[in-house]
A and B are shown apart, each in its own frame.
Chain A
Amino acid sequence: MAKKLTGIEIYKLLPRTNCGDCGFSTCMAFAMQVAAKKVALDKCPHVSEEAKAALGEAQAPPMRTVTIGTGDRAWTVGGETVLFRHEEKFHRPCAVAVRFGDDLPAEELAAKVKEASGLRFVRIGQEIGVNLIAVEHRGGDFPAAVGIARENTDLPLVLICEDPDTMGKALETCGDSRPLLYPATAGNLEAMAALAKEHSCPLGVRGKDAEELAQLTPKLKELGVEDLILHPAAESLAGTHAELVRLRRLALKKTFRPVGYPTLAMVEGDDPFEVAAQATAYICKYASVVVLPPVGPEVALALLTVRQNIYTDPQVPLAIEAKLYEVGEPDENAPVLVTTNFALTYFTVEGEVERSKVPAYIAVVDTEGLGVLNAYADDRLTAEKIIKTLKEYGVMERVRHKKVIIPGLVAVLKMEIQEETGWEVIVGPEDAAGIPSFLKNEWNPN
């Protein structure tokens, strides 16, 4: 098992001449910076190849990153550094794949591949979609099915076939498109490794648990295949969940290199609720690739949203675009509500306005992703800023009532806005939950 090297250990591998060519005055100072991962070893022009190899191995990230496919649609997974997103963040959103059997009639397969590739949605300004199309050998003409899939999608493929000969024939139709080959098992290891190497493809490895996988990966590495994705194929959801947790811990907490790779989970069944349940568990807990059975837009939208949410960087306040939003079809009598561009605040306000069934304008002030109280405390939600925002959006020209509703939590801004503009400022509820009754009972454009 490789360990992280200390500054002293790195120092021993350096020329120890204190030449200063690296920019540091001593080799020791440089070694300390390398150990802290603040500087790369190759900043030292005199370092030996042996030292590089020793360090390269030790300094390699605990989980490899692996890219499936090429070009715009290529998807990179792995490289994760934490077990819980609050510790830092999850770095590379897991790939969502949809799989089809090669036993489907050609036309049906073509249509379904097209349909699955089109499962794309826009949420909070981001496009989210299915990333991979998997073709599974189920006794049909596998190479032909792979060819059909390629013609009908621009997404990278996952080729699921245990027989290396059939896999090899299918690969002939794939050019250098780098599909994920799956599965390498104890039974076909060498032949699959040869195919992965020849076509420079990432390779999915199947074993029932961490122990079995840890036997297979060193052999694959020896055969020259290192872009691996591990599938712990336990018999149950409970078992697979347990193995995914173990693999992540082994990779990150023990730097146990034989399983320092991204992971894959297969979702089984056709009940949409069950498919969503398994996939949600795997997205939350540590699958880098989740392979779904064919799903409709309902399941796809839910799961792609789970993925988007779980992989959101918790260190960055989630902000939406500051602009004028319309709920329903607001006319000249519609209320104008002011809020912040913290996504959670905005979506809560929007939801409550929708619930009120009163068409309205929501004028979003750019508070740099802060909620109402934080923004107020930080001078990012001021009377001046609200006035400027409303003027910029020209919203007061769209309504005839010249009234504006501000959040109840910043009631204190009322007089200043009113005196500055002559608009009538109405103090709204402190909690968004009060918006429906406020709009129904208290709002009056006249």
Chain B
Amino acid sequence: MGVEVPDVKESFPQAIYTVTIGATPEDGGTRAKVVTVGGETALPFHTFEGEIPHPPVVAMEVWDVPGEDWPDVVREPFSEVMGDPGAWAVKCVEYGADLICLRLVGCDPNGADKSPEDAVQAVKRVLETVGVPLIIWGCGNPEKDNEVFPLVAEAVKGENCLLGTITQDNYKTLVAVATAYGHKLIAESPVDINIAKQVNILAMDAGFPLEKLVIYPSTGALGYGIEYVYSIMERTRLAGLGGDKLMAMPILCDIGKEVWGVKEARAPREEQPEWGDERLRGPLWEATTAYVYLMAGADILVMRHPEAVRATKAFIEKILGRQG
């Protein structure tokens, strides 16, 4: 006697927007390849009931200054290249990066306070040395970012970079320069789904197409508020697939920056003997944080440690059923 099992496949009315980053020479850029994310018509890795045409990708972080506060475990793989963003980017590509996320930390007025021209030099150096597309992330100081981005965006005109971030308080300059020079934008919100939507509306009202945005809902490391972001991402993705055009963007998670600031990733074994070896624990904390966000719908992961990147990419392949 057979038991009939009801069908529980689900379909959604709307696909997540497809966002391409980078441009090859035939499209007016210089990239050897482009990266496309989004386009999914199902929940994360639900290949049994929808399309996941563009699996999640990993961007590796490069700074315009050495990563002084990076703990040894994650500095060592880059120790010889940290003074040169170009060489640093090459190393990342060797480690498997799909994109480079160049973070202009050095422009921070409370740090090295580098000039917009310095930032342009760093960006150009990375463009010269690697063929992957670029994410360019400001220092986070709104006034300074508004000085830096007009020059940077112009210098990479036609490269179709992903620039960030716009927030509800500071979006006009970035929207203007991204529009003028043909770039995509990261829309940031502070672990708040309503503000996430609001930033998208502000960008749209300023004339920026929704299909050129990526949502950055803020990121918490594993153990540090990850569940809040996890649920906001699930709600965002359900809304987007469900037909909300203001929420149907790919989602970016800034993993490395958060993970390498918490003690589970940083503390040496001597300080926390019961936690085991930090040479495994640090990269594992970063990878596990990435796994959790992938399950919630992350499309772009910004990461640091080569081992965590390798493991994350392997996980994506496996849960998509592309390898054993």
Residues in chain A within 8 A of chain B (CB atoms): 1, 84-86, 121, 123, 210-211, 214-215, 218, 236-239, 241-242, 245-246, 249-250, 253-254, 256, 258-259, 272-274, 276-277, 280-281, 284-285, 296-299, 301-303, 305-306, 308-310, 312, 314, 318, 343-344, 347-348, 351-352, 354-355, 433-434, 436-437, 441
Contact of B231 (CB < 8 Å), options: A1, A85, A441? A85
Binds A, one of B119-127, B155-163, B220-228: B220-228
Given the interface contacts A121-B274, A245-B46, A310-B227, does A302 sit within 8 Å of B288 by beta carbon?
yes
Quick one: closest B residue to A254, CB to CB?
A: B6
Whether B280 contacts A211 by the Cβ 8 Å rule is no
Give the docked Cα–Cα distance between A305 and B69 (Å). 25
Give the docked Cα–Cα distance between A75 and B307 (Å). 35
Whether B5 contacts A211 by the Cβ 8 Å rule is yes
Residues in chain B within 8 A of chain A (CB atoms): 2-3, 5-6, 8, 10, 45-48, 69, 108, 110-111, 140, 191, 220, 222-228, 230-231, 234-235, 238, 261-264, 274-277, 280-281, 283-285, 287-288, 291-292, 295-296, 307-308, 310-311, 314-315, 318-321, 324
Given the interface contacts A277-B314, A299-B284, does A309 sit within 8 Å of B222 by beta carbon?
yes
Give the docked Cα–Cα distance between A309 and B154 (Å). 43
Contact of B275 (CB < 8 Å), options: A298, A433, A436? A298
Give the docked Cα–Cα distance between A297 and B285 (Å). 12
Given the interface contacts A238-B319, A258-B3, A437-B111, does A250 sit within 8 Å of B231 by beta carbon?
no
Give the docked Cα–Cα distance between A33 and B324 (Å). 51
Q: Which residues from chain A contact B226 at a C-beta distance below 8 Å? A: 309
Whether B318 contacts A302 by the Cβ 8 Å rule is no
Whether A84 contacts B231 by the Cβ 8 Å rule is yes
Given the interface contacts A246-B8, A347-B225, A434-B110, does A277 sit within 8 Å of B318 by beta carbon?
yes
Q: What 5 new A-B contacts, CB under 8 Å, besides A274-B314, A306-B288, A348-B225?
A: A86-B231, A123-B223, A218-B3, A241-B319, A256-B6
24 contacts between A and B (CB under 8 A): A85-B231, A86-B234, A211-B3, A214-B3, A237-B321, A238-B47, A238-B319, A239-B321, A242-B46, A246-B48, A253-B8, A254-B6, A256-B6, A273-B314, A280-B291, A284-B230, A299-B284, A306-B288, A309-B222, A310-B292, A347-B262, A351-B224, A351-B261, A433-B140
Give the docked Cα–Cα distance between A349 and B277 (Å). 26
Closest 10 CB pairs of A and B: A238-B321, A273-B311, A297-B276, A280-B291, A437-B110, A249-B8, A284-B295, A344-B225, A277-B315, A298-B276
Minimum CB–CB distance from A130 to chain B (whole Å) comes to: 13
Whether B222 contacts A285 by the Cβ 8 Å rule is no
Q: Which residues from chain A contact B274 at a C-beta distance below 8 Å? A: 121, 297
Whether A277 contacts B291 by the Cβ 8 Å rule is yes
Contact of B284 (CB < 8 Å), options: A86, A215, A273, A441? A273
Q: Which residues from chain B contact A121 at a C-beta distance below 8 Å? A: 274-275
Given the interface contacts A272-B284, A299-B284, does A314 sit within 8 Å of B227 by beta carbon?
yes
Minimum CB–CB distance from A287 to chain B (whole Å) comes to: 12
Whether A344 contacts B223 by the Cβ 8 Å rule is no
Q: Which residues from chain A contact B220 at a C-beta distance below 8 Å? A: 344
Whether B222 contacts A302 by the Cβ 8 Å rule is yes
Q: Which residues from chain B contact A344 at a C-beta distance below 8 Å? A: 191, 220, 224-225, 228
Q: Which residues from chain A contact B324 at a C-beta distance below 8 Å? A: 236
Q: Which residues from chain A contact B10 at a C-beta distance below 8 Å? A: 249
